[in-house]
Amino acid sequence: MSVIITGTGSYIPRTVTTNDQFNDHDFFNEDGTPLTDDNAVIIRKFKAITGIAERRYIKAEKVTSDIAAFAAEKAIADAGIDPETLDYIVVAHNYGDVKHGSSQSDTVPSLASRVKHLLKIKNPKCVAYDILFGCPGWVEAMIQCYAFTKAGMAKRCLVIGAESLSRVVDQHDRDAMIYSDGAGAVILQNDVSAAPGQGILNHLSATFAYDEAHFIYFGESYNKEDRNTRKYIKMYGRKIYEFAITNVPAAMKECLDQANIPIEDLKKVFIHQANEKMDEAIIQRFYKLYGLQAPKGVMPMTINTLGNSSVATVPTLFDLVARGEFEGHEINSGDVVMFASVGAGMNINAVIYRV
C-alpha cells in the first residue's frame, strides 16, 4: 500500500504589500532605541538578506480558518473526492484565528473543526484537530496522517497549513516585513493502485529545546511608548540562522539516506520559505555533505513575492509546482522530492516523497 497525495490546493491572498509601504514606519531595536539608518536603507538591507520584495495579507473580514477552508476546497476538487469520505482533517497553524483589530487569539473550537463546518461535512467520524509545531507544522501533520493511514486508522486525510501572520506582527519591528498570510492543503490517502515505490518513502522529525526553545517567542512591542499589553511574534534571527544552517542540512541528509535514495535522484526540495540567504545556505550545505554543488532549480523559491507564511509556505509552493503554475519548475510521475522545514520549537522535519 502506498500513501500518496491525490489533490493539492492553496490560497494566496490578493492584497499585496510592497517593501515601499514600510517607508513611513517607526522602527526600533529590542531595547527601544530607534534604528539609526533611515527606512530606505533598512528596507534595502532587508531585501538583500531575505529576498523579500512583497508579501500578501488577507482581507480584514477574513481569518485563518477561512483561508484554510479555501485551500481545502481546491484540494478536494483536485482530488475529485466526496469530502464526506475524509477520515481526518488536520490544520497546522500557530496563532489561531485573530480578527482584524483584535489582540485575542481564538482557538476554541479548533481551526480544523471550523474548516469542517465551513466545508459542510456531516460525517462525525471525520475527526478534526489542530497541530502546533511552528513553521514545520504542515510537514509534521503529513507525517502524522501518513502514520494513521499506514496503521489502518484512516484511508483519506485532508492536511492543511494556514497562517495569518499579519495579525501578530509588531509594526515597530523590522522583522514585521518578513511575515505574510496564506494557506495550502493536500489530500493524502492510501491507494492500492499506486505504482510500486510511489508516495511517502521516509520521514524524520526532531525538536531542539534545551537551549533553543525560545528562539521564536511572543513579546511586547519594541516601541516602549506603546502602553498596549498586546504581544507579537518575535525572534532571535541570528540564532535561528546559525541553528538552521548547522542542523537542517544534516537532518535532510539523514532522511534521504534512510530512504536509500541517491541524491542525484532528488528532483526538487520544497523547503520552508523563511529567508532567501538562509535557504540558499541550507541547500548548498546539504549538497556539500555529498561532495556536490546544488543543481540549479532544485529549490523553488516564492519568498520574493509571497514572504514567509509559516506553515503555509511548503504546501503552497508544492501546489503551485504540481499545478504547473510556477514558471520554470515542474514535477513528473516518478520524481523524488523532499519536503523540509525548520521553525519554532526549535523543530526540524523532512519527508521524502515519490510523485
Is residue 166 located within the same domain as residue 287? Answer: no
Domain that includes residue 321, residue range: 199-354
Is residue 177 located within the same domain as residue 267? Answer: no
| Residue-level pLDDT at 192 | 73
Q: Report the CATH number that the domain containing residue 246 is assigned in CATH.
A: 3.40.47.10
Sign of CA dihedral 259, 261, 262, 263: negative
Is residue 123 located within the same domain as residue 13? Answer: yes
Contact 72, 119 (CB under 8 A): yes
Is residue 174 located within the same domain as residue 45? Answer: yes
| Residue-level pLDDT at 226 | 81
The total number of structural domains in the chain stands at 2
What number of CA atoms fall less than 13 Å from residue 262's CA on the CB side? Answer: 3
Is residue 213 located within the same domain as residue 187? Answer: no
Is residue 140 located within the same domain as residue 51? Answer: yes
Is residue 207 located within the same domain as residue 156? Answer: no
Encode the chain (355 residues) as per-residue pLDDT tens digits: 789 999 999 999 999 999 999 999 999 999 999 999 999 999 999 999 999 999 999 999 999 999 999 999 999 999 999 999 999 999 999 999 999 988 889 999 999 999 999 999 999 999 999 999 999 999 999 999 999 999 999 999 999 999 999 999 999 999 999 999 999 999 999 987 777 789 999 999 999 999 999 999 999 999 988 878 889 999 999 999 999 999 999 999 999 999 999 999 999 999 999 999 999 999 999 999 999 999 999 999 999 999 999 999 999 999 999 999 999 999 999 999 999 999 999 999 999 999 9
Is residue 228 located within the same domain as residue 339? Answer: yes
- Burial class, 349, CB count within 10 angstroms (exposed 0-12 / middle 13-18 / buried 19+): buried
Buried b / exposed e over 175-214, threshold 16 CB at 10 Å, is: bbbbbbbbbbbbbbbbbeebeeebbbbbbbbbeeeeebee
Q: 191, 208, 224 — which closes off a domain?
A: 191
Is residue 155 located within the same domain as residue 234? Answer: no
Set of cell numbers at residue 285: 550545505
| Residue-level pLDDT at 197 | 87
Is residue 322 located within the same domain as residue 340? Answer: yes
Q: 131, 156, 191 — which closes off a domain?
A: 191
- Per residue in 22-74, pLDDT (tens digit) is 999 999 999 999 999 999 999 999 999 999 999 999 999 999 999 999 999 99
Q: 171, 191, 211 — which closes off a domain?
A: 191
Is residue 122 located within the same domain as residue 46? Answer: yes
Is residue 164 located within the same domain as residue 226? Answer: no
| Residue-level pLDDT at 155 | 96
pTM above 0.85, yes or no: yes
